[in-house]
Structure 1
Amino acid sequence: MLCFEELSQWSHSLERLLTSKYGLKIFQAFLKSEYSDENIEFWLICEEYKKIKCSYMMSTRARKIFKRYIQAEAPKEINIDQVTRETIQKNIEEPVVTCFDADSYPRFLKSNAYRALFDAT
């Protein structure tokens, strides 16, 4: 059973949410409700991207991620606003580890679904 302490740990980091027994399933359900379940795939790709040390490889991978997930009409376009899209596009001009850090995790923490879980505990 989900307890208050575990639930509150989810707000500390996305990793804690996704490694929780219930966290990943609840987060996936939230993303589906927003029609943005491709965001988990995007997040996993970005976690791999953060491990790249070579600047050339980082630049190449950043452009591929942008084309697949960020640009308008991308094959797996994630649900982000235009301002975030433009910020990421600027970030990949000189890519760093954090250039894709705008995501759905903050929206989840503010969502009614997450707050309702606290009410139920």
Structure 2
Amino acid sequence: MEALLFLFPQFNYMAPKEEVYFKILGPEDLQAPTMKDDSSRQKDKERKSRLSLFLTKSGSHENVSPNKKTNTTTNISPETALQWSDSFEELLKHSDGVESFSQFLRTEFSEENIEFWLACEEYKTIDSDTKLLSKARCIYTVYIDSDAPKEINIDYNTKADIQKVIAKPTKSCFEAAQLIVYNLMKKDSYPRFLHSDIYLRLTRRKGPGTNMFRRRSRSCVFNDRGEATTEPSAW
């Protein structure tokens, strides 16, 4: 901790994460994208490299928030966890489901997907134009920019469309990127999550040999021992 404070004296661990990013990156990084000379680009890369290194060493930027929940999965019942297998949409309705899914994505080094999706959901609820601009630039700097420390995997055209409007963002400016990330998680990460140790431990919390109710899912069903088995989709 002391070493981190020495390296980043401007960092305030109790500040909101948007403020933290702004202080580390500097106000010039939050301006609308413009043509820069070589020295400016080099300085930008150095700042973002320091931020990327810090986020990696600290185990992803969710550690910045002092209000982050810990051990949220300890009190989840098997019945509740089994509901998450109904659909990806059902999983996202439960805060514990989102946290468990986030834990799984961290094991695959793809936690930026759920973090970006959640940031976009929060972004769409902002009413203040000033806060909307601040949040949009934060999302762009952390997830969209080519030098972003947690860059998401979206196509060039989608990224270019966001770059064009980031100086005057609208509530819908991230919708295309959010949909791409959503479908990636739903089709790729979510099926693997249902077969992961993280999820299976939650569905077996009553212990071996305990009868569990069967619940059909698009991805799997659970037998009487709470084990996940693949089965042809009913849809």
Q: TM-score, normalised by structure 2?
A: 0.39
Could you give the per-residue CA deviations for residues 10-48 of structure 1, whole angstroms, max 9, x where no partner exists?
24xxxx422347743246535753x42122222333233
Match of 1:10 among 66, 80, 88: 88
Larger Rg: 2
Q: Could you give the per-residue CA deviations for residues 59-103 of structure 1, whole angstroms, max 9, x where no partner exists?
A: 232122211221011122223232222222234243222222223
Residue identity opposite 1:60 in structure 2 = S
Q: Which has the higher contact order (CA 8 A, sep 6+)?
A: 1
Q: Aligned equivalents of 2:135 and 2:189: distance in 1?
A: 35
In 2, Cα distance between the equivalents of 1:116 and 1:51?
28
Percent identity over the alignment? 39
RMSD: 3.1
2:128 is the alignment partner of 1:54 = yes
For the pair 1:106 / 2:183, whether they are aligned, the reply is yes
Number of aligned residue pairs: 114
48 and 111 in structure 1: CA distance in 2 versus 1, 3 angstrom threshold: closer
Could you tell me which of 26, 29, 35 is aligned with 2:104?
29
For structure 2, list consecutive stretches of 5 or more residues without a partner in the other structure: 1-77, 195-217, 222-235
For 1:42 and 1:90, the matched residues in 2 are separated by 19
| Preserved contact between residue 144 and residue 152 of structure 2 (Cα < 8 Å) | yes
Structure 1: tracts of 5 or more residues without a match: none
Aligned to 2:141: 67
Change (3 A) 1:86 1:17: farther
2:180 equivalent to 1:80 = no
Contact 1:31 / 1:39 at 8 angstroms: preserved in 2? no
Q: Is the 8 A contact 1:30 1:113 kept in 2?
A: no
Structure 1 residue ranges, 4+ long, deviating more than 6 angstroms after superposition: none
**Alignment partner of 2:116: what SS?**
helix
**2:220 maps to what in 1?**
120
Residues 57 and 26 (structure 1 numbering): CA distance in 2 closer, same or farther, change over 3 Å?
Answer: closer
Letter in 2 for 1:10: F
